Chains A and B, each alone.
Chain A
Amino acid sequence: MREITGRQAVNEALREEMERDENVFLIGEDIGIYGGAFGVTNGLLDKFGEKRVRDTPISEAGIAGAAVGASLMGMRPVAEMMFMDFITIASDQIINQGAKIHYMFGGQMNAPFVLRMPAGAAAAGAQHTQSLEALLYHIPGLKVVMPSTPYDLKGLLKTSIRDDNPVMFIEHKKGYGEKGEVPEEEYTIPFGQADIKREGEDLTIIATSHMVFKALKAAEELAKQGIDAEVLDPRTLVPLDMESIVKSVSKTGRAVVVHEAHRRGGIGGDIVARIVDSEAFYYLETPIKRITGPNTPVPFSPVLESEFIPSEEKIIKGVLDILD
Chain B
Amino acid sequence: MELSEEKLLKMYQDMIEIREFERKVDYFISHGDITGTTHLYIGEEAIAVGAINAAEEKDYISSTHRGHGHSIAKGVNIKEMMAELFGKTTGSCKGKGGSLHIVDSDTNNLGANGIVGGGIPIAVGAALAAKMQENGEVILCFFSDGAMNQGAFHEAVNMASVWDLPVVFICENNQYGMSTSVEKAFNIQDLSARAKAYNIPGVKIDGNKIMEVYEVVQEAVERARQDGGPSLIVAETYRWKGHSKSDAKVYRTKEEEKAWKERDPIAQFEEELKAQGILDEQKIEDIREEIDEKVEAAVKFAQESPFPDKEDIYDDVYVDGEVEL
Contacts and interface: CB of A to CB of B under 8 A. Distances in A.
B116 to A, nearest CB: 5
A58 B149 CA distance: 6
A86 interface: yes
A291 B91 CA distance: 30
Given A29-B180, A123-B36, A303-B308, A128 B151 contact: no
Nearest to A263: B325
Contact of B313 (A58, A123, A307): A307
B297 interface: no
Interface in A284-324: 294-297, 299-304, 307-308
Interface stretch (A30-38, A132-140, A269-277): A30-38
Interface string B138-166: 00000000110111100000000000000
Contact of B308 (A58, A128, A264, A304): A304
A297 B308 contact: no
Interface centre among A33, A59, A128, A301, by most B CB within 10 Å?
A: A301
B95 interface: yes
B250 A33 contact: yes
A55 B179 contact: yes
B97 A302 contact: no
Interface residues on B, range: 35 or more
B101 A295 contact: no
A125 B101 contact: yes
14 contacts: A57-B149, A58-B147, A58-B180, A124-B37, A124-B114, A125-B101, A127-B101, A127-B115, A128-B114, A294-B323, A299-B96, A303-B95, A303-B307, A304-B310
A218 B167 CA distance: 54
Given A123-B36, A299-B95, A308 B313 contact: yes
Contacts of B184: 55
A59 B155 CA distance: 13
A32 B181 CA distance: 12
Interface string B240-254: 000000110011000
A297 B317 contact: yes
A301 B308 contact: yes
A238 B186 CA distance: 38
Interface in B176-197: 177-180, 184-186
B177 A57 contact: yes
B151 A294 contact: no
Given A294-B325, A303-B307, A125 B313 contact: no
A73 interface: no
A300 B177 CA distance: 24
Given A123-B36, A300-B97, 4 more contacts: A55-B179, A60-B150, A89-B115, A300-B93
B89 to A, nearest CB: 8
Interface string A38-79: 000000000000000001111111100000000000000000
A133 B88 CA distance: 30
Nearest to A300: B98
B87 A301 contact: yes
A-side interface size class: 35 or more
A58 B114 contact: no
A109 interface: no
B241 to A, nearest CB: 15
B202 interface: no
A33 B251 contact: yes
A62 B154 CA distance: 13
Contacts of A55: 179-180, 184
Interface in B12-67: 35-37
B100 interface: yes
A125 B114 contact: yes
A256 to B, nearest CB: 17
A126 interface: yes
A125 B323 CA distance: 19
A126 B113 CA distance: 10
Contact of A89 (B150, B180, B308): B150
Interface string A85-98: 11001000000000
Contacts of B35: 123, 302
Given A125-B114, A303-B310, A34 B179 contact: yes
B252 to A, nearest CB: 10
B179 A124 contact: no
B100 A124 contact: yes
B117 interface: yes
B95 A264 contact: no
Nearest to A306: B310
A261 B234 CA distance: 40
B192 to A, nearest CB: 17
A270 B177 CA distance: 40
A319 to B, nearest CB: 19
B324 interface: yes
